[in-house]
Amino acid sequence: MIICGVELKSNNVIVSIIDTANNDINYIDIKVKKLSLNDDQNQTSIVSFKNQIDNFIQENTIDKIVIKKRAKKGNFAGGVITFKIESIIQLNSHCKVEFVTAQAITKYLKNNDVKFPDGLNKYQEQAYLSTLILL
């Protein structure tokens, strides 16, 4: 199964992909590490971004997307654009979308010795960890 972890920051979708074939976890170092929504108030930009997401999913044969949840209110609440991006990702018809909490990621790190793969950038770590939670 090909799983794509996602962390939403500002107008960016930070991605990390793993392949779980043969009960192994193999990081796939792809060229595209993040996707951006340039203008969230322009319909053409929104449609273009949705097409970009759909193409990314199909080109990488992604079976499941796991999104790190953001707070809906309070000091660490996600911005308006991240909620739009989340909805656009959920509208894809190519794969299943699930969510994990920051608390689940913290608990996973506490209970497991995680070694980050070569080629993974520091800013992709939360997206990568999101892929591991639901295995």
Under 8 Å between Cβ of 15 and 5? yes
Domain that holds residue 77: 2-133
Q: What is the CATH number of the domain that holds 32?
A: 3.30.420.10
> Please, what is the Cα angle at 73 between 71 and 78, to 5 degrees?
50
**22-72: pLDDT as tens digits:** 889 999 999 999 999 999 999 999 999 999 999 999 999 999 999 999 878
State the total domains in the chain: 1
pLDDT band at 111 (very low <50, low <70, confident <90, very high): very high
Q: What is the pLDDT of residues 5-21, one digit of tens each?
A: 999 999 999 999 999 99
Q: CB-based burial of residue 64 (10 Å sphere; 0-12 exposed, 13-18 middle, 19+ buried)?
A: middle
Q: Is the entire prediction scored with pTM above 0.85?
A: yes
- Cβ atoms of 135 and 20 within 8 Å: the answer is yes
Check whether 79 has a pLDDT greater than 90.
no
